[in-house]
Amino acid sequence: MRPRLLAALVMLVWLVACLVVLLVFRGVPARFRAYFVILSLAGLIWGIGALRARLAK
C-alpha cells in the first residue's frame, strides 16, 4: 500500500475516533474538549510523520 494512502486512512480513522469521543463526552466542559482536540491533532501529525518516515526506509 502506498504511504500517502496509508497516511490518509490513518488520518480518517483518527478523525472518526475523535468525533465519536467528542459526541460521547458532550457533557464535558469545553476546556477539556479543547485540550482533547489539540492533543489529538498533535498526536495525529506526529503519528503520520512517524508512519511516513518508517515507510520511506
**pLDDT, tens digit, 9 for 90 and up, residues 3-29:** 777 777 877 887 888 788 778 877 878
- pTM equals 0.55
Annotated domain spans of the chain: 3-56
35 has pLDDT over 80:
yes
Residue percentage of the chain with pLDDT more than 90: 0
| Beta carbons within 10 angstroms of residue 14's beta carbon | 16
Specify the residue for cell string 504511504.
3
